[in-house]
Amino acid sequence: MHGCDFRLGLQGILLYIRQGDGMVDIEVLNTSDSNVVRVRVPPLVPTMRPLLRTLLRRIRRALTHDKPLITVSISKENLLHNLRAYQEQYPAQKIAPVLKSNAYGHGLTVIASLLDTEDIAFFMVDSLYEARVLRRAGITSRIVVMGYVRPESIARSSLRDTDYAVTDIEQLRSLSETVHRPVRIHLKLDTSMHRQGILPGDLEEAIALIQMNSKLSVVGVATHLADADNADTSFTENQLSLWKESLVQLEVAFPSITYRHASATKGARFSASYPMNVLRIGVGLYGYDASFAANNLKPVLSMRSFITSLREIPRRDSVGYNASFTTQRPSRIATVPAGYYEGVDRALSNVGSLQVNGVPAPIAGRVSMNMVSLDVTDVEAARGDVVTLISRNPEDPNSVRSMARLADSTPYVLLAHIPAHLSRVVE
């Protein structure tokens, strides 16, 4: 564009801007194929460089012709089914979907977008960064940041409809001194898990510190249960009794308390016996909760790739690092472009299976960082055939639950290790 006032480039896309006649002309050039897109917008846009960069990224994604090697598929139907299951099982409590750690690997903004108009208490995240990502993505539901945030960051933050957990007395002391604008907080109580929270002996000081600063408003009281899935409920009952005692004291001091939440997925069964009106549902929302009475949850995520290479291997040849797999017969070995960086746990080496066209094929040799080899000698397979890395069917050998069992791990770990850069597609 001749005489442009602004030029911006990003990974094969050039953006030219020229202002005149009361409007702004924007020209987008895809340098790889010379395709050009032209639009006219109001003159406010050129002053908003961050918005332009976001626009440019979206245009680049729209113009790119590259297909991802791995696709993470999210079932909207299963996600909403699981939410409804908890809402029906616990009608007296509001559900707070837990979106920390990239929504347990499912995609932070993807899951939030699917649930933003649902009847929920709030979204729960771990970090201020996650809260900012949600707001930049246009998510409107209330957010509660339950992880530690530096007091000065809370004091400076202007994120709308965002509450913050107070995770220990030292943080509260700093907040009481530094906050000069209204801040809504959830007091997290340490009831014997001993990771975070206000200890019982610090509760009187905590009340005094909050009352010293009128800008601090207590809207929630929380704790976290350490042993909620144990058949012996004595430890959990002791935690909840301590939490209940502290809650009574706090409600006298702060009538503003609206949210009372102590239980996550595994502790939801205790909600009827204690004064909770919110359940923080994380892994159960995504289809994994061995303690759920109805046991009718549906896994939300599946992951697919494809065969990029096939080779014939003679008997007694080895495959992969450290020669840990040796063929016992002439074999066909398929290579798939997904390794432990992409979420195929290394502990599945030589013991796990993936599915080729829906048929299980054993992992041959070590899982590499970005590749895995499959023995497809007994499977019909061709280059380009679909490989299911993670199946939604709990009975399949490559379901999250089956792989966690083989890897001596948990669904939490396997799901959280699925990297954020992989393409998420909603089905």
Catalytic residues: 100, 321
C-alpha dist (Å) from residue 53 to 4, 31, 272, 388: 17, 17, 49, 35
**Phi and psi at residue 331, to the nearest 5°:** -135, 155
**In sequence order, what DSSP letters do the residues of 124-148 get, joined into one string?**
EES-HHHHHHHHHTT--S-EEE-S-
Cα–Cα distance, 28 to 63 (Å, whole number): 10
C-alpha dist (Å) from residue 149 to 123, 129, 184, 282, 416: 17, 10, 13, 20, 21
CB 225 within 8 A of CB 269: no
Retrieve residue 410's tokens. 């948990």
Element (H, E) at 177: helix 169-178
Retrieve residue 106's tokens. 């499912």
* Burial class of residue 195 (count of CB atoms within 10 Å of its CB; 0-12, 13-18, 19+): exposed
Cα–Cα distance, 59 to 40 (Å, whole number): 15
